[in-house]
Homo-oligomer: A and B are copies of this chain.
Amino acid sequence: MATEKEGPSHRKVTSVDVAKLAGVSRSAVSRTFTADASVSKQTREKVLRAAQELGYRVNKLASSLISNRSDLVGIIASNMDNPFRAQQVESLSRVLLSRGLKPILLLVEGAEDPSQIIGMLLEYNVSGVIVTSDTPPQSICQECITLGVPMVLVNKAESATDVDRVLLDNHKSGVLAAITLYESGAREMAFVTTEHPSYSLNVRIASFIKQCEKLGLTPVTQLTGKLQNYQGGMSACGQYLTKHRTVDGVFCVSDYMALGFLDGLRLNGPVEVPAQMKVISCDDIPQASWPIYELTTIRQDTHKLAVVVVDVLQERIKQPNNPAAVKILDVELVHRNSTATV
- A-side residues, CB < 8 A to B, are 2, 6-9, 11, 57-62, 64-65, 70, 72, 75, 80-81, 83, 86-87, 89-90, 93-94, 97, 102-107, 116, 119-120, 122-125, 146-148, 230, 234, 260, 263, 266-267, 286, 290-292, 320-321
Contact = CB atoms under 8 A, between A and B. Distances in A.
B125 A59 contact: yes
Contact of A86 (B57, B81, B263): B81
Contact of A290 (B102, B107, B263): B263
Contacts of A290: 230, 260, 263
B103 A105 contact: yes
Given A104-B104, A107-B94, A263-B291, A11 B81 contact: no
B123 A58 contact: yes
A104 B107 contact: no
A79 to B, nearest CB: 9
Nearest to A74: B102
Given A103-B105, A266-B292, A290-B230, A7 B147 contact: yes
A64 B80 CA distance: 31
A256 to B, nearest CB: 10
Contact of A62 (B59, B65, B104): B65
A125 B8 CA distance: 18
A61 B57 contact: no
Given A81-B83, A93-B105, 9 more contacts: A11-B147, A57-B119, A57-B123, A81-B87, A94-B107, A102-B104, A103-B104, A234-B291, A266-B292
Instruction: From A104, A234, A263, name the one whose CB has the most chain B CB atoms within 10 angstroms.
Output: A104
B59 A61 contact: no
A80 B70 contact: no
A88 to B, nearest CB: 10
Contact of A61 (B89, B125, B260): B125
12 contacts: A6-B320, A6-B321, A7-B146, A57-B119, A57-B122, A61-B64, A61-B124, A86-B86, A93-B106, A93-B107, A260-B290, A263-B292
A120 B11 CA distance: 15
A320 B7 CA distance: 10
Contacts of A266: 292
Contacts of A57: 119, 122-123
A234 B289 CA distance: 13
Contacts of A75: 105
